[in-house]
Amino acid sequence: MKLVTLNTWGGLAGEEKLLSFFEKYKDEVDIFCLQEIWAGAYKELDGKSVGGRNLEHDKIMMNGLQSISKTLSGHSAYFRPHFMEHYGLLIYIKKNIKILDEGEVFVHKHKGYMPEGDVGGHARNIQYITLDTENGLKTIINFHGLWNGKGKGDSEDRLTQSDKIVGFISKLNNHVVFCGDFNLLPETESIKKFEDIGLTNLIKEHGVTSTRTSLYDKSIRYADYVFVSKDLKVVDFRVLPEEVSDHNALLLDFN
């Protein structure tokens, strides 16, 4: 079973380029875990600061959910917004895979929370889907971690965010794949909390030193992670070369 996780950057690298990526991998990949997905416009926010840059509707895939779903017509879409109703997390699952459960847990603030100042400080959730496979139950968790405008180090909010995620994962009795854009450095306590409950950090295990493309101009190259249960058999893990965002896509092949 193959999974790709990608922060789409809201399509800022170009809609055609992003859709071509999904067209290329749609038959090969069973699960896509996506972050920064839009499903409609917020015209009242045009020009306001969102995650450190001004929101420009004409440059973003405001109907990313709809456009990507047309390309991935063989997959079912599960959208879980964390800012109002049109922005958040999206998982695609091939339609032949049996799904037992799907949902979300808010791990920073609460659903509907409206931050003061930069809108990038919005609430954060994890999105989960439990699959029934030939080798037992697997829970896939999609995540886009808190942005605070102060780098990717530990903070009280980020530590609390990790604690809430650990609490959720610790209640599961099946294999876990936990992935996304964590907005964290590898050496943080916020990351260590996931390792301490027995998850394998594939970024660390495979010696990955960057998950950012040339479209990202800052020196710190860490952001995206994949964690798996220690007894989950990993067939392949790699950073994909396509530059369809300022983030690289990560591919996991697991049994």
Token representation of residue 197: 């409950």
pLDDT of 58 > 90? The answer is no
CA–CA dist 102, 55 (Å, integer): 31
User: Residue 50: its pLDDT value, please?
Assistant: 77
- pTM: predicted TM-score of the whole model, two decimal places: 0.96
pLDDT in tens, 69-126: 999 999 999 999 999 899 999 999 999 999 999 999 999 999 999 888 888 999 999 9
Q: How far is CA 59 from the centre of its chain?
A: 21
Token representation of residue 130: 């439990």
pLDDT in tens, 132-185: 998 889 999 999 999 998 999 999 999 999 999 999 999 999 999 999 999 999
Of 76, 181, 166, residue with least CA distance to 124 = 181
Which residues, in sequence order, are CB contacts of 219 under 8 Å at separation 6+? Answer: none
User: Residue 23: its pLDDT value, please?
Assistant: 98
CA–CA dist 21, 39 (Å, integer): 19
Q: Which amino acid is at 128?
A: Y
CA–CA dist 250, 70 (Å, integer): 22
Q: Which sign, positive or negative, has the C-alpha torsion 255, 96, 139, 174?
A: negative
Of 119, 138, 157, 149, residue with least CA distance to 36 = 119
Q: Which sign, positive or negative, has the C-alpha torsion 21, 27, 29, 30?
A: positive
CATH superfamily of 2-254: Endonuclease/exonuclease/phosphatase (3.60.10.10)
DSSP state letters, 230-250: TTS-EEEEEE----SSSB--E
Token representation of residue 93: 């699952």
DSSP secondary structure letter of residue 86: T
Token representation of residue 55: 């929101």
pLDDT tier, 202 (very low <50, low <70, confident <90, very high otherwise): very high
Q: Which sign, positive or negative, has the C-alpha torsion 21, 26, 28, 31?
A: positive
Token representation of residue 148: 């605070």
